[in-house]
Chain A
Amino acid sequence: MRSFRSGWIAAACGGLALVVGGCGSDDAETGPGVSDDPCPDAVNEDNGCIYLGVLSDLTEGPFAALAVPITDGQVAFWQRVNEEGGIGGYDVDITEYTRDTRYDPQEHSAAYREIEPEILALAQTLGTETTEAILGDMDSDDVVGAPASWWSGWNFEDNDDGLILEAGYSYCLESQIGLDWFSENVAPPETVLAVGYPGDYGGDSAAGVEAWTEAAGAQFAGFVETAPNAQVGSQDAAVGQVLQSGADVVVLAVGPAETAEIVGGSAANGFTGQFLGSVPTWNPALLDTPAAPALQALYTNVAPWEDLDADTEAHAAIRESLGDELPANQGYIYGWIWSYPVKAALEAAAENDDLTREGVRAVVDGLEVDFEGALPATTLGGDPNENVNRTAVINKPDPEAPLGLSSVATGVTGTNADSYDYASACSG
């Protein structure tokens, strides 16, 4: 380990590094994004530094409200890794190469090109379209990354070239598991409507709804395509179509404010069906809106993992990192849990004494990821039908819960979701 190195070893190493590309931990081969110098503000001054990039939506983009806590959660995750000694003699830094790309594929691509020479991998690449914009470059650069989205395509090598290290289910499976749970625990839906943003998020969720209705013999009332309020002004059109649909369950894949408007507006107009909301539909601040009573009565949230107060090792660590502070929303938890696959990849590469990009990429297929109880242990790559995570957590709004949601069922699986033939991406 680096802590055993003395000056003469470092000097010798310095010369040798020119030949073999670096000399971080013991004999590990290194390349771009790995330095023998300590990280800025290093936890372990004797360690070298692995630089990971973050391409996120941190100020003006549509997902900034979620992306900022996601990034905070990742910073806290890697801080904990560093406090536990780092990886293979290296601390991990994700702040030096954090860039705000405002959910714009062009800015995402430009920022990637800017930071690419300096990073080993991406700790976060937020969004599907934005990530697709850099996948070609990531492939030629051998840069792997953790997504901040749950598009089903990340489960398939045809879509992500094995570069995206996903965690949890996909939106497509999420809606199916949610409907399975609803069917078994509330009432079998006869007519189901999907409302969401077109594309990787709402489109993926709606594809899952359609598949579920086919499998369950229910009627698919269609996919109502809407857009964020910043684009369409209000959700009046979506509310109108919910009211006309006659659906007894509406599956939502929109933003939090739009969720409150659709649920509140539908309830105010006499709609008595139920709403199942995808993960990003929730924000604790919704409990302060006029729609709060309607949300408490009609809305159920589906999530890949439990909320802040869960009894797992991962959640205990998350709470410890927060101290007495509460994050603005669940994004902090997402960011934390999305980081486990990258950590596992770096550890496996360090184990192989190959902390190059090629070395990290080589360990991804078949990589076992331990989520410290937040999710079942998962194997990346391989056959998605076998390896994909098909469990969810069902939450209801709860003003007493730290982030406004409390779990009513955990580790939820469903008959139709389990038997769904996951042979290709559901959308896109």
Chain B
Amino acid sequence: MDELIASVVRGLGIGSTYALLGVGFVIIYRATKVINFAQPALMILGGYFTSLFATRAGLPFPVAVVAAMVAVAAIGALCERVALRPMVGEPPFAAAMVTVGVFIVLLIVAFRLIGTQVLTVGDPWGLSRTSVLGVSVAQVDIAKIVISLVAIGVIGVFLARSRLGLAMRATALDQEVALAQGVDVGRIFGLSWAIAGALAALAGMLIGTASGGIEATTALVALKALPVIILGGLDSIKGSVYAGLLIGVAESLTRTYQPEHAPFLGANFDVVVPYVIMMAVLMVRPYGLFGTPEVQRV
């Protein structure tokens, strides 16, 4: 039982990080109908900036995290303005391909910045442990869950209660109508990218709390958010949260139990699990757990 609880807490920890990344994907998708493949690169830049501000500039850790989120939000908004805004009106597939280009450019920048180093983000949790239901778990997993859910909650309140949030929701529903109502849609696009960048930076910090730190190649971890958003529904923030947590826990349980109980599945089977779950769910719910079914007049 102890092992099960510890495994679930680990899964919720990494799953909440997937949820953060997934929410960033969804916010951009809702505003622009484009899947932002640059999100992994924004994540690793977030880890880099957190490390830079916390360990080299010596800023207090919370200040460093906020500064990194601001820096990556600015990068995200800049990417939207330079690379994506000219694609307005073009097919979403073409714009998605542009985000692949942005991903490659940002990833190369990240490789240049990080170089040969293993970076640490200077977090206060380290390898410390605490007790949950009498079971020893890593403090960093609790921190991941709390920080991610608080950040997603803040985004939810912002979207529900603020004028800008209302404008973002209006844009998500119908860009032309929003434009007719005086919403500056271009500004909403930029804001979406900035919010997604900030969330990716936060996720980068959380991934960077690993005891081995982060390398430039860690960016590829963020690709795990792709099955999360497909599973949760491309336009559903709630779906991303549930799917992220589900996939995180499923991965963790697989890591814990599969090597002993199903060794015939081979090493590292947990890597496949998100995709297996995604395919299984899509067979019965093609728009994901919480996605909006597309209705077309024929």
Q: Which residues of A contact B (CB under 8 A)?
A: 59-60, 62, 64-66, 68-69, 198, 224-237, 240-241, 244, 255-261, 264-265, 267-269, 283, 285-286, 288-291, 294, 328-329, 331
Q: Which residues of B contact A291 (CB under 8 A)?
A: 127, 211-212
The smallest C-beta distance from B181 to any residue of chain A, in angstroms, reads 43
For residue B213, CB closer than 8 A to chain A, the reply is yes
Task: Output the least CB separation between B254 and chain A (Å).
Answer: 8
How long is the Cα–Cα vector from A285 to B212 in the complex, in angstroms?
Answer: 9
Asked if B292 is an interface residue, CB under 8 A from chain A, the answer is no
- Closest chain-A Cβ to B60's Cβ sits at a distance in Å of 18
Report yes or no: B118 in contact with A283, Cβ–Cβ below 8 A: yes
**How many residues of B are in contact with the other chain, CB < 8 A?**
42
Contact B116 A65, beta carbon cutoff 8 Å: yes
Residue of A nearest to B123 (CB): A290
Residues of A within 8 A of B211 (CB): 260-261, 264-265, 268, 289-291, 294
Contact of B213 among A231, A236, A257, A294 (CB under 8 A): A257
Asked if A328 and B116 make an inter-chain contact with CB atoms under 8 angstroms apart, the answer reads yes
Q: How far is the CB of A335 from chain B (nearest CB, A)?
A: 13
B33 to chain A minimum Cβ distance, whole angstroms, is: 29
Instruction: Please name all residues of chain A whose beta carbon is closer than 8 Å to the beta carbon of B143 when the two chains form the complex.
Output: none
Question: CB within 8 Å of A: which residues of B?
Answer: 10, 14, 55, 107-108, 111, 115-120, 123, 125-127, 129, 136, 138, 210-221, 224, 251-252, 255-256, 259-260, 267-268, 270-271
- Whether B115 lies near A68 (C-beta < 8 A) is yes
The answer to whether residues A257 and B210 also contact, given A68-B116, A229-B221 and a CB cut-off of 8 A, is yes
Known: A267-B127, A288-B55. A230 touches B267 (CB 8 A): no
Closest-by-CB residue of A relative to B136 is A269
A227-B256 Cα distance, complex, nearest whole Å = 16
Q: Are A294 and B127 in contact (CB under 8 A)?
A: yes
Identify A257's interface contact among B212, B224, B259, B271, CB under 8 A: B212
A237 touches B111 (CB 8 A): no
A-B contacts, 15 of them at CB < 8 A, read A60-B108, A64-B111, A65-B115, A65-B118, A69-B116, A229-B212, A230-B218, A232-B270, A257-B213, A260-B212, A265-B211, A267-B127, A268-B211, A289-B118, A328-B116
Contact B127 A198 (CB under 8 A): no
Which of B14, B116, B221 is the one whose CB lies under 8 Å from A329? B116
A257 — which chain B residues lie within 8 A by C-beta? 118, 210, 212-215, 218
Among A62, A244, A261, A283, point to the contact of B210 (Cβ < 8 A): A261
* A234 / chain B contacts, CB cutoff of 8 Å: 14, 210
Max chain A C-beta neighbours (<10 A), residue from B211, B215, B219 = B211
Q: Whole-angstrom distance between the alpha carbons of A286 and B115 in the complex?
A: 15
A residues near B125, Cβ cutoff 8 Å: 290
Whether A268 and B116, one on each chain, are in contact in the complex, defined by CB atoms closer than 8 angstroms, is no
Apart from A65-B215, A290-B120, A328-B116, 8 more pairs, CB < 8 Å? A65-B116, A225-B267, A233-B271, A237-B255, A237-B256, A257-B210, A283-B116, A290-B126
The residue on A at minimum CB distance from B119 is A285
Tell me how far the C-beta of B50 lies from the nearest C-beta in chain A, rounded to whole angstroms.
14
Task: Give the CA-CA distance A325 to B132 in the complex, in Å.
Answer: 48
Q: Which 4 A-B pairs have the closest CB atoms?
A: A264-B211, A225-B267, A260-B212, A257-B212
State the CA gap A89–B221 with chains docked (Å).
51
Q: Which residues of A have CB within 8 Å of B108?
A: 59-60
Tell me the minimal C-beta distance from B45 to chain A in angstroms: 15
Q: In the complex, what distance in Å separates the CA atom of A234 from the CA atom of B251?
A: 11
Complex-state Cα separation, A313 to B9, whole angstroms: 54
Chain B residue numbers with a CB within 8 Å of A286 are 118, 212-213
A237: contacting residue among B123, B212, B216, B270, CB under 8 A? B270
Known: A230-B220, A231-B220, A241-B259. A236 touches B120 (CB 8 A): no
Known contacts A60-B111, A236-B252; A66 and B116 CB within 8 A of each other: yes
Asked if residues B268 and A226 are in contact (CB atoms below 8 Å), the reply is yes
In whole angstroms, how far apart are the Cα atoms of A259 and B259 in the complex?
Answer: 20
Chain A residue nearest to B110 in the complex (CB): A60
Q: Which of A60, A69, A234 has the most CB of B within 10 A?
A: A234
* CA distance in complex: A244, B283 (Å): 37
